[in-house]
Amino acid sequence: MRALVQRVSEARVVIDGETVGEIGAGMLVLVCAMQGDGDDQAAFLARKIANLRIFESEPGKMNLSVLASGGSALVVSQFTLAADTSRGNRPGFSYAAPPDEGERLYELFKAALGEHGVPVQTGRFGQVMQVHLVNDGPVTIWLDTAG
Protein backbone atom coordinates (compact mmCIF):
# COMPACT_ATOMS: atom_id res chain seq x y z
CA MET A 1 0.00 0.00 0.00
CA ARG A 2 1.02 3.57 -0.54
CA ALA A 3 0.23 6.61 1.53
CA LEU A 4 1.02 10.27 1.37
CA VAL A 5 0.79 11.77 4.86
CA GLN A 6 0.55 15.51 5.38
CA ARG A 7 0.66 17.17 8.78
CA VAL A 8 -2.21 19.64 8.80
CA SER A 9 -3.65 22.33 11.03
CA GLU A 10 -7.03 21.56 9.44
CA ALA A 11 -8.48 19.51 6.59
CA ARG A 12 -11.86 18.57 5.15
CA VAL A 13 -13.39 16.59 2.31
CA VAL A 14 -16.32 17.95 0.33
CA ILE A 15 -18.56 15.93 -2.03
CA ASP A 16 -21.23 17.72 -4.06
CA GLY A 17 -20.98 20.77 -1.80
CA GLU A 18 -21.35 18.74 1.43
CA THR A 19 -18.54 18.35 3.96
CA VAL A 20 -18.31 14.59 4.64
CA GLY A 21 -15.15 14.52 6.78
CA GLU A 22 -13.32 17.21 8.72
CA ILE A 23 -10.50 17.47 11.26
CA GLY A 24 -8.54 20.13 13.09
CA ALA A 25 -4.86 19.52 13.82
CA GLY A 26 -3.62 16.12 12.73
CA MET A 27 -2.82 14.40 9.48
CA LEU A 28 -4.35 14.02 6.05
CA VAL A 29 -3.66 10.49 4.82
CA LEU A 30 -4.09 9.83 1.10
CA VAL A 31 -4.01 6.05 0.71
CA CYS A 32 -3.91 3.58 -2.21
CA ALA A 33 -4.02 -0.21 -2.26
CA MET A 34 -1.69 -1.71 -4.86
CA GLN A 35 -1.86 -4.99 -6.82
CA GLY A 36 -0.87 -7.83 -4.50
CA ASP A 37 -1.52 -5.95 -1.25
CA GLY A 38 -3.34 -7.74 1.52
CA ASP A 39 -4.43 -7.46 5.12
CA ASP A 40 -0.84 -7.45 6.42
CA GLN A 41 0.07 -4.36 4.40
CA ALA A 42 -3.02 -2.48 5.62
CA ALA A 43 -2.27 -3.36 9.26
CA PHE A 44 1.42 -2.46 8.92
CA LEU A 45 0.65 0.89 7.30
CA ALA A 46 -1.93 1.79 9.95
CA ARG A 47 0.51 0.98 12.76
CA LYS A 48 3.31 2.91 11.06
CA ILE A 49 1.15 6.01 10.52
CA ALA A 50 -0.36 5.93 14.03
CA ASN A 51 3.16 5.99 15.48
CA LEU A 52 4.85 8.26 12.91
CA ARG A 53 6.57 11.03 14.88
CA ILE A 54 5.91 14.12 12.75
CA PHE A 55 4.43 16.46 15.38
CA GLU A 56 6.53 18.89 17.39
CA SER A 57 7.31 18.21 21.05
CA GLU A 58 9.08 21.58 21.18
CA PRO A 59 9.92 24.11 18.47
CA GLY A 60 11.93 22.45 15.72
CA LYS A 61 11.74 18.92 17.22
CA MET A 62 9.41 16.43 15.55
CA ASN A 63 9.08 13.84 18.27
CA LEU A 64 5.35 13.20 18.76
CA SER A 65 2.93 10.87 17.01
CA VAL A 66 -0.60 11.91 16.08
CA LEU A 67 -1.71 10.01 19.19
CA ALA A 68 0.68 11.84 21.51
CA SER A 69 -0.20 15.20 19.96
CA GLY A 70 -3.96 14.67 20.42
CA GLY A 71 -4.60 14.97 16.68
CA SER A 72 -6.90 13.17 14.27
CA ALA A 73 -6.59 11.63 10.83
CA LEU A 74 -8.57 12.42 7.70
CA VAL A 75 -8.23 9.33 5.49
CA VAL A 76 -8.95 9.69 1.78
CA SER A 77 -8.72 6.95 -0.85
CA GLN A 78 -6.57 7.98 -3.81
CA PHE A 79 -5.88 5.38 -6.50
CA THR A 80 -3.79 7.93 -8.42
CA LEU A 81 -0.93 7.23 -5.99
CA ALA A 82 -0.45 4.11 -8.13
CA ALA A 83 0.28 6.21 -11.23
CA ASP A 84 2.83 4.82 -13.67
CA THR A 85 4.37 7.65 -15.71
CA SER A 86 7.26 5.66 -17.17
CA ARG A 87 5.81 5.73 -20.69
CA GLY A 88 4.52 8.92 -22.23
CA ASN A 89 2.70 11.71 -20.49
CA ARG A 90 -0.57 10.01 -19.64
CA PRO A 91 -0.36 8.08 -16.36
CA GLY A 92 -1.48 4.48 -16.19
CA PHE A 93 -3.08 2.99 -13.11
CA SER A 94 -2.73 -0.74 -13.69
CA TYR A 95 -0.63 -1.10 -10.51
CA ALA A 96 -3.60 -0.10 -8.35
CA ALA A 97 -5.62 -2.89 -6.75
CA PRO A 98 -8.94 -3.68 -8.45
CA PRO A 99 -11.73 -1.45 -7.06
CA ASP A 100 -13.39 -4.11 -4.87
CA GLU A 101 -10.09 -5.15 -3.29
CA GLY A 102 -8.95 -1.53 -3.03
CA GLU A 103 -12.10 -0.61 -1.14
CA ARG A 104 -11.79 -3.61 1.18
CA LEU A 105 -8.19 -2.71 2.05
CA TYR A 106 -9.08 0.98 2.45
CA GLU A 107 -11.80 0.04 4.94
CA LEU A 108 -9.42 -2.32 6.75
CA PHE A 109 -6.76 0.41 6.94
CA LYS A 110 -9.25 2.95 8.36
CA ALA A 111 -10.46 0.47 10.98
CA ALA A 112 -6.91 -0.50 11.97
CA LEU A 113 -5.90 3.16 12.35
CA GLY A 114 -8.92 3.70 14.60
CA GLU A 115 -8.04 0.59 16.62
CA HIS A 116 -4.67 2.22 17.37
CA GLY A 117 -6.62 5.03 19.03
CA VAL A 118 -6.46 7.61 16.26
CA PRO A 119 -9.75 9.48 15.74
CA VAL A 120 -10.56 8.96 12.04
CA GLN A 121 -12.67 10.97 9.61
CA THR A 122 -12.94 9.96 5.97
CA GLY A 123 -13.87 10.76 2.46
CA ARG A 124 -15.86 8.24 0.40
CA PHE A 125 -14.22 5.53 -1.65
CA GLY A 126 -14.55 5.95 -5.41
CA GLN A 127 -16.14 9.40 -5.23
CA VAL A 128 -14.99 12.66 -6.79
CA MET A 129 -13.92 14.73 -3.79
CA GLN A 130 -12.53 18.15 -3.10
CA VAL A 131 -9.90 17.98 -0.39
CA HIS A 132 -9.18 21.21 1.48
CA LEU A 133 -6.16 21.36 3.75
CA VAL A 134 -3.70 23.62 5.45
CA ASN A 135 -0.36 21.78 5.40
CA ASP A 136 1.48 22.52 8.64
CA GLY A 137 5.22 22.93 8.24
CA PRO A 138 4.90 21.92 5.47
CA VAL A 139 5.42 18.31 6.45
CA THR A 140 4.67 15.66 3.80
CA ILE A 141 5.83 12.03 4.12
CA TRP A 142 5.62 9.27 1.46
CA LEU A 143 5.14 5.70 2.72
CA ASP A 144 5.14 2.52 0.66
CA THR A 145 4.83 -0.97 2.14
CA ALA A 146 6.65 -2.42 -0.89
CA GLY A 147 9.98 -1.04 0.20
Q: Which of 6, 41, 55, 79 is catalytic?
A: 79
Residue among 68, 55, 39 nearest 5 (CA): 55
List of residues 6+ apart from 73 with CB closer than 8 A: 23, 26, 27, 28, 29, 49, 66, 113, 118, 119, 120, 121
The yes-or-no answer on residue 121 being catalytic is no
Buried b (16+ CB within 10 A) or exposed e, 52-79: bebbbeeeeeeebbbeebebbbbbbbbb
Helix 39-51 to helix 99-115 angle (10° resolution) is 40
Q: Which of 80, 127, 130, 140 is catalytic?
A: 80
Residue 80 falls in the annotated catalytic set: yes
44 is known as an active-site residue: no
Residue of 6, 41, 55, 78 marked catalytic? 78
Active site residues: 78-80
